[in-house]
Amino acid sequence: MSERHDAVEVIAAKRDGGALSDSQIDWVVDAYTRGMVADEQMSALAMAILLRGMDRREIARWTDAMIASGERMDFSTLSRPTADKHSTGGVGDKITLPLAPLVAACGVAVPQLSGRGLGHTGGTLDKLEAIPGWRAALSNEEMLAQLDDIGAVICAAGSGLAPADKKLYALRDVTGTVEAIPLIASSIMSKKIAEGTGTLVLDVKVGTGAFMKTEALARELAETMVALGTGAGVRTTALLTDMSTPLGLTAGNALEVRESVEVLAGGGPDDVVELTLALAREMLAGAGRGDVDPADTLADGSAMDTWRAMIAAQGGDADAALPTARHTQVVPAPSTGVLGRLDAMAVGLAAWRLGAGRAAPGESVQAGAGVEMHAKPGATVTAGEPLLTLHTDDEWRFERALAALEGGYDVAAPGATVDTSPLVIDRIG
Annotated catalytic sites, by residue? 86, 165, 172, 187, 191
The gap from C-alpha 337 to its chain's centroid, in whole angstroms, comes to 33
- DSSP classification of residue 101: H
The size of the chain, in residues, is: 429
DSSP 19-75: PPPHHHHHHHHHHHHTTSS-HHHHHHHHHHHHHH---HHHHHHHHHHHHHTS-----
Contact status, residue 311 vs residue 320, Cβ threshold 8 Å: no
- Note the Cα 375 to chain centre separation in Å: 24
- Run of H or E residues at 380: strand 380-381
- Tell me the C-alpha distance between 268 and 276, whole Å: 11
d(CA 163, CA 165): 5
Interacting residues of 202 by C-beta distance below 8 A, sequence separation 6+: 85, 86, 87, 88, 188, 222, 225, 226, 229, 236, 237, 238, 239
Give start and end residues of each alpha helix (H) in 151-269. Answer: 163-173, 181-195, 215-231, 254-264
Do 253 and 366 meet the contact criterion of CB atoms below 8 Å apart?
yes
Q: Which residues, 6 or more positions from 23, have their beta carbon under 8 angstroms from its beta carbon?
A: 2, 3, 5
Q: State how beta strands 424-428 and 235-242 pair.
A: antiparallel
241 DSSP β-pair partners: 205, 424
CA dist 298 to 106, 112, 148, 203, 305, Å? 10, 19, 21, 20, 10
- Between the CA of residue 382 and those of 165, 341, 402, 414, what are the distances in Å? 48, 15, 20, 10
For residue 11, what is the enclosing H or E element?
Answer: helix 7-15
